[in-house]
Amino acid sequence: MNILHFWRAMWGIIGRELWRFVTQRERFVSALVRPLIWLFVFAAGFRAALGLAITPPYQTYILYEVYITPGLIGMIQLFNGMQSSLSMVYDREMGSMRSLLVSPLPRWFLLMSKLLAGTFVSILQVYVFLAIAWAYKIHAPWQGYFWIVPALILSGLMLGALGLLLSSFIKQLENFAGVMNFVIFPMFFLSTALYPLWKLKESSLLLYGLAKYNPFSQAVELTRFALYGQYNQNALLYTLAAFIVFITAAIIGYNPSKGMMVKKGGG
Amino acid sequence: MNTNAALTVRDVNFSYGTKKALDQVSFEIEAGHCTMLLGPNGAGKSTLFSLITRLYDTPSGRIELCGFDIKKETCKALAVLGIVFQQTTLDLDLSVQQNLRYHAALHGISGKVADARILEELERLGMAERRFEKVRQLNGGHRRRVEIARALLHKPSLLLLDEPTVGLDVPSRTSIVDYVHSLARTGNIAVLWASHLIDEIYPEDRLIVLHKGRIRTTGSVDQVLQATGAPMIRDAFFKLTQGD
C-alpha cells in the first residue's frame, strides 16, 4: 500500500459522491430550496421585526437578509452533514457500506474520505446558494468569496463528523427522525444563525449560554467573519476542537473492536 | 497450521450478547478448491463472513488470510480478499463501469489498468456490452455477475461468496455456479461459498457443515458421505443438521 493507493481511493470516494449529487436533481434542488425559502420569505418577513446593531464583522447597519446569509450557509452544511449520515445508515442497511469497509485501507481513512466527499458536496451547494443570493443583491466583498473556502471546509468537516458519529449510533433508518428533532432543529435554532448572541442574551441567559457554546454557532461565526475577509480565531479554534472530538468519537464508533458496529448484530 | 492456506480460521467464538453465534470454529481452505460452507439459516455463516472481512471484531481465536492476521494486518489481509455479499452492494444509480471503477480506486488500481481489467472480467462473464448501463436496469442475475466481476477485479487469492444465488432463476444460478467452480479449478484462487442449496455442490468440492454455530464436519464430498454413512449429500446434510 502506498500514497498513490490512498490518493486514488480518496478521489474515488469523492468522485462518487459528487457524481451522485449532480445526477440526483431532486436532492440538488431540495438542498437549495430550504435556505432560499428562509432567505426570500422568512428574512423578508422578519426584516422589520428585528433591529440589528452594528456588530463585527459588519461595519454598518445591515439588512436582516445579509445577517442570516452565513446562518443559511451553515444550514446548508448542517443538513448536508445529516444527509450524509442518513445515507451512511441507508448504505449500511442496504449493504453498500460493507463494500467500502472491506477495502484494504484503514477505517479512519475511509471515514475521513467519506467526510471530505460530503464537505465538497456541501461547498458546491453553498456556492450555488451564494450566486442566487448575489442576484438577490446580497453582496459580500469579493475576497470574501475566496476566504470562506477554508471556513466552509472546516465547518463542513465538523458538521459531517457529527453526522458520522450519529450514524454510528443509529441502528435503523426509521430512527433518523429523532435526529431531526433532537439534533438538527435545536442546533439550528439555538445558534447565531438567525439572531445575534446579544439579542438572545436580552431574552434568556440560559439560551444565550447554550447558543454560545453550540459548535454550530461557532461554525456560522467562522463563516460570517470569513465572508467579510476577517479572521475569528475563537470560532476557528472552537470549530476545530469540535471537529476533533466528533471525528475521534465517530472513528471509535466505527471501529469493529471498540465501537457500536459489533453491538448492532446481524446475520 | 498449514502455511499455504488461503484462509485459516482457528478456535473462533462469537456471541450476540448472551446468544452464542459461533462456537470454537476452526478450518482451513486452500487455493484450487471450491469449499462449500453449508448450513441452514441462522447457522452462523454470515456472522463468520463478517468476522473474516473484519466487519466484526474477532473477540477470541484467530483468522488469517494468506498468512495475514485479520486483526493485526487488516489492510494486507483485505487486499487478498474478494467478496460477494448476500445482499447486493452495488450502487444502483451508477453504471456498471462506474461501480467497478469505484472498487478499483478503493484497491488503488490506476484508471487505465482498471479499465482493462473491468473489460477483461466483464467479457468473461458476458457482461462487457452492458458496462455503460445503470445497475438499476440490470436483472438480479446480471447484478450478481457484476458483483463477481467486481470481487475479482483486484485479482484476489481468496473469494468469499455469501449465498450469491439466492433469489435467482435456474439459468442464472447454473451459470454463476459453473463460473465460480471453473475459477477454483484454475488453481490460483481459493473459494469459500456459503450456501444452503445442496445442488450447488460439485463432486470435487470440499465441504464444511456449520450448524448452530458449530462445525459438524469438514472434508471432501466422499469423506463426508463416508463419515455420515449417507448415500447422498442431501441426506448427510440432514443428518448433520438435525437436533443439537
ipTM reported for the complex, 2 dp = 0.84
Cα B221 to chain centroid, rounded = 18
Using the 3D structure, point to which of B138, B155, B172 is the last residue of a domain.
Answer: B155
- Whether residue B202 sits in one domain with residue B142: no
Contact (CB<8Å) A24/B85: no
Q: Which of B14, B45, B88, B89 to mutate to test the interface with A (most CBs of A within 10 A)?
A: B89
DSSP label at residue A41:
I
The per-residue pLDDT for A7 is 94
- Whether residue B163 sits in one domain with residue B151: no
The per-residue pLDDT for A267 is 35
Contact (CB<8Å) A261/B102: no
Where residue B187 falls (left for φ over 0; alpha for ψ -120 to 50; beta otherwise) is left
- Whether residue B229 sits in one domain with residue B198: yes
- Whether residue B172 sits in one domain with residue B149: no
Mean pLDDT for the stretch of residues B216-231: 92
Residue B86 falls within a domain, yes or no? Answer: no
Nearest to B102 among A4, A5, A12 (CB): A12
- Whether residue B161 sits in one domain with residue B148: no
- Whether residue B224 sits in one domain with residue B144: no
The per-residue pLDDT for A266 is 38
Q: Which residue stretches of B30-169 are H helix?
A: 45-52, 74-79, 96-106, 111-124, 140-152
Mean pLDDT for the stretch of residues B186-207: 90
- Chain A residues whose CB is inside 8 A of the B85 CB are 95, 98-99
Q: How far is CA A114 from CA A63, A229, B171, in A?
A: 37, 29, 38
- Domain containing B125 equals 91-155
Using the 3D structure, point to which of B133, B155, B177 is the last residue of a domain.
Answer: B155
Contact (CB<8Å) A99/B47: no
- Whether residue B101 sits in one domain with residue B16: no
Mean pLDDT for the stretch of residues A177-181: 73
Per DSSP bridges, beta strands B214-220 and B19-29 are: unpaired
Residue B134 falls within a domain, yes or no? Answer: yes
- Whether residue B69 sits in one domain with residue B5: yes
Buried b (16+ CB within 10 A) or exposed e, B154-193: bebbbbbbbbbbeebeeebbebbbeebbebbeeeebbbbb
- Best-predicted range by mean pLDDT among A20-34, A88-102, B53-67? B53-67
**Cα–Cα distance for residue pair A128/A124, rounded to 1 Å:** 6
Nearest to B56 among A103, A105, A256 (CB): A256
- Whether residue B225 sits in one domain with residue B177: yes
B62 strand-pairing partners: B10
Contact (CB<8Å) B106/A103: yes
- Whether residue B243 sits in one domain with residue B179: yes
Q: If you search the block for the grid coordinates 447554550, which residue do you land on?
A: A210
Residue B234 falls within a domain, yes or no? Answer: yes
**Cα–Cα distance for residue pair B57/B64, rounded to 1 Å:** 13
The string of pLDDT tens digits covering residues A109-131 is 998 998 999 999 999 999 999 99
Contact (CB<8Å) A19/B94: yes
Contact (CB<8Å) B75/A105: yes
Using the 3D structure, point to which of B126, B155, B184 is the last residue of a domain.
Answer: B155
User: Would you tell me which residues 87-146 of chain A have a C-beta closer than 8 angstroms to some C-beta of chain B?
Assistant: 94-96, 98-106
* Whole-structure pTM value: 0.85
Q: How many domains does chain B have?
A: 2
**Cα–Cα distance for residue pair B97/B118, rounded to 1 Å:** 7
- Whether residue B190 sits in one domain with residue B103: no
CATH number of the domain at B202, please: 3.40.50.300
CATH number of the domain at B109, please: 1.20.1580.10
- Whether residue B231 sits in one domain with residue B193: yes
- Chain A residues whose CB is inside 8 A of the B79 CB are 1, 104
Per DSSP bridges, beta strands B206-211 and B34-38 are: parallel
Contact (CB<8Å) A100/B106: yes
Nearest to A4 among B47, B75, B108 (CB): B108
